[in-house]
């Protein structure tokens, strides 16, 4: 092995070592790949290199590792690396806890007409965010709320904004919600459905990287993050959970997916059991900042 000018270890053929690619990906977005998957990851990197017209790994690595300058190309690589697997109401007990306990509690403790804010962090193509919106509007049809859906994949966000889903995709939505919040689309005979406007106008989507500062520091009553942290390295999990925790407002809740709860308690939050689901609750003011 030799070293490139940047200090990154390279192979004898002047390619970047797989571990260096793995470290860069973890550092930039938190994604951790098992050793057995690294040949697949390197293949994806090479495919994006060819699409970009770059011949040498060292040149491509330098482009991606450069702060700021490689962000557009980094986004393109992320689209190939990320897993967009998701579904509506993916973990029903979490949504039951939200619907039966958390939302009624939040409504009862907020001033009349107060707006609730819910964040679906790592929302992929939008199913989780729209599931949160269905629960929120069913809890109080005239209540004011906004659901924020975010994901590192810009392509996933584009799909989420279209609010268009196939028959198979909507099969996990409870029947009474399907009847109220979905309408068929008859433009191509594909049997697709869209979300009613009363819901879509309350849902906002944006690109967000959970392990890099990007300015999104709103305060939320509910932060929902399922099936995201299982793909992160331990260090990235700690960093992402700290950011999620800092976004939970006074009296708010953080709900993580099964098996995704951190070993240490998120900063400023208390572990609670809500309807059999482990969650984290903020009873005191938020910390002023997070140190990465």
Beta-bridge mates of residue 222: 118, 253
pLDDT of residue 127: 96
| Short-list 206, 215, 220, CA closest to 160 | 206
Give, to the nearest 10 degrees, the angle between helix 18-29 and helix 57-65. 20
Hey, where are the domains in the chain? 2-81, 92-281
- For the chain, 292 residues long, give each residue's pLDDT as a single digit of tens: 333 434 444 443 457 888 999 998 888 888 888 888 889 989 999 999 998 888 888 999 988 887 765 558 888 888 888 878 899 999 999 999 999 999 999 998 888 878 899 999 999 999 999 999 999 998 776 778 999 999 999 999 999 999 999 999 999 999 999 999 999 987 666 689 999 999 999 999 999 889 876 655 679 999 999 989 989 988 899 889 999 999 999 999 999 998 887 777 888 899 999 999 989 999 865 544 444 3
Instruction: Enter the tokens of residue 111.
Output: 């001033």
| Short-list 175, 177, 184, CA closest to 136 | 177
pLDDT of residue 10: 45
Exposure string of 5-42, with b = 16+ CB inside 10 Å and e = fewer, is: eeebebeeeebbbbebbbebbbebbbbbbeeeeeeebb
Contact (Cβ atoms closer than 8 angstroms) between residue 195 and residue 181: yes
Using alpha carbons only, how large is the chain's radius of gyration in Å? 21
pLDDT of residue 289: 43
| Short-list 47, 140, 148, 101, CA closest to 253 | 101
> Check: CATH 1.10.155 for 2-81?
yes
User: Which CATH architecture fits 92-281?
Assistant: 3-Layer(aba) Sandwich (3.40)
pLDDT of residue 215: 55
């Amino acid at each position: 092995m030799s070293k490139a000018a940047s200090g990154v270890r390279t192979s004898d053929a002047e390619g970047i070592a797989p571990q260096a690619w793995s470290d860069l990906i973890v550092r930039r977005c938190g994604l951790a790949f098992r050793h057995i998957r690294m040949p697949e990851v390197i293949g994806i990197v090479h495919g994006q290199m060819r699409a970009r017209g770059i011949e040498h790994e060292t040149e491509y690595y330098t482009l991606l590792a450069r702060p700021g300058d490689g962000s557009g190309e980094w986004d393109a690589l992320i689209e190939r690396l990320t897993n967009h697997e998701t579904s509506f109401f993916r973990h029903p007990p979490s949504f039951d806890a939200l619907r039966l306990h958390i939302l009624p509690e939040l409504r009862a403790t907020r001033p009349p007409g107060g707006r609730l804010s819910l964040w679906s962090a790592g929302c992929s193509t939008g199913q989780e965010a729209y599931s949160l919106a269905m629960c929120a509007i069913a809890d109080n049809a005239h209540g004011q709320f906004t659901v924020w859906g975010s994901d590192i994949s810009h392509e996933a966000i584009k799909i989420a904004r279209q609010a268009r889903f196939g028959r198979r995709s909507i099969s996990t939505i409870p029947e009474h919600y399907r009847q109220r919040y979905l309408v068929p689309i008859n433009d191509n005979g594909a049997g697709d459905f869209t979300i009613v406007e009363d819901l879509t106008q309350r849902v906002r989507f944006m690109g967000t990287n959970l392990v890099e500062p990007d300015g999104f520091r709103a305060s939320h009553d509910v932060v929902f993050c399922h099936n995201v942290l299982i793909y992160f390295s331990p260090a990235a999990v700690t960093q992402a959970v700290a950011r999620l925790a800092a976004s939970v407002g006074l009296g708010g809740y953080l709900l993580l997916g099964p098996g995704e709860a951190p070993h240490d308690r998120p900063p400023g939050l208390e572990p609670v059991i809500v309807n059999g689901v482990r969650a984290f609750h903020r009873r005191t003011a938020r910390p002023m900042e997070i140190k990465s």
